[in-house]
Amino acid sequence: MLDGLGLLDTSQVTGTLTGAKVDQVEQLVRRGDLLKASQEFESYFVSYMFKVMRETVPQGELTANKMGEMFYSFYDQEIGKRAAETGSLGLSDYVLAAVARNEDLARSPSNPPPSVQS
């Protein structure tokens, strides 16, 4: 029923929602985009880490060809994707927290961080 709608276009619902509700909806959409991007980053990081780690190990007879390289490439991507989905490393959580901290600092430039205040 909702297939193909994509992201929520808040300009279509502004007449029915109050300003605060529109801000909440936009924030949820943005948070969802950030979560997806941070999970994709974690997935890429893990798969690349596996690729580099695999290069340090001598190749066996079964994987010393192009098909073996392709298999391990797909395997590393899948392991990275699943690790990011479960949040087992916590890298995506760290990225989200860092973005939230940066947004808080950008919103209140007149207030210095607590470590700067005397």
Name, of 25-39, 69-83, 99-113, the range with top average pLDDT: 69-83
pTM value is 0.61
| Separation between Cα atoms, residue 31 and residue 43, nearest integer Å | 18
Round to the nearest angstrom and report the end-to-end CA distance of the chain.
57
Instruction: Count CB-CB contacts under 10 A for residue 82.
Output: 12
Domain ranges of the chain: 21-106
Kindly state the tokens that stand for 59. Answer: 């190749």
User: Which residues, including other chains, have CB under 8 Å from residue 63's CB and lie 6 or more apart?
Assistant: 69, 71, 72
Using DSSP's 3-state secondary structure scheme, residue 118 falls into coil
Contact 35, 91 (CB under 8 A): no
pLDDT of residue 111: 54
Q: Give the model confidence (pLDDT) of 31-79 as tens digits.
A: 788 888 888 999 999 999 999 998 898 887 777 788 888 998 999 999 9
